[in-house]
Amino acid sequence: MHQEDAAKVLVDTSVWIDFLHGKATAQRMHSLLDTNRVLVHDFVEAELRVGQINKDRESFFRHLQNQPRANAIAVADLIDFVERKSLYGSGRSFIDIALFSLECPLPGTGGIDCTITA
């Protein structure tokens, strides 16, 4: 399988934070980044930007902006998705649900691993 054919992985904020802190739980990130398989969602970048990323902040966000982007869903459509799927009271954040709502596979990405884990 060629690199460009490999499935893309939408990385959640918590995984990025673990990766930046060098935690073993995010070890797979090195491989994903090296093979250009990471997808970034605007909401995840926004969460990272309001966090305390101080070390090499400019370099990190420049690199993040060069990663492939996940499609976004309009907020009105996302609210409808929450209601249709009865996701209220599920304990998930609005951003988690936004990431979960993405179509799988996304056209041209070779697929996306969109499983939400606790």
Q: Please state the φ and ψ torsions of residue 10, each to the nearest 5 degrees.
A: -80, 115
Q: Is-contact 114 99, C-beta < 8 A?
A: yes
Model pLDDT, residue 110: 44
Cα–Cα dist 90/97, whole Å:
10
**How many other β-carbons are positioned within 10 Å of the β-carbon of residue 82?**
17
Return the SS3 of 34.
helix
Please state at what angle helix 13-20 crosses helix 42-50, rounded to 10 degrees: 50
Model pLDDT, residue 62: 94
Tens-binned pLDDT, residue by residue, of the chain (118 aa): 444 557 888 888 889 999 988 888 778 888 888 888 898 999 899 999 998 887 889 999 999 999 999 887 888 888 888 888 788 888 888 888 887 777 543 334 344 444 433 3
Model pLDDT, residue 103: 52
pTM flag (> 0.85) = no
Model pLDDT, residue 61: 94
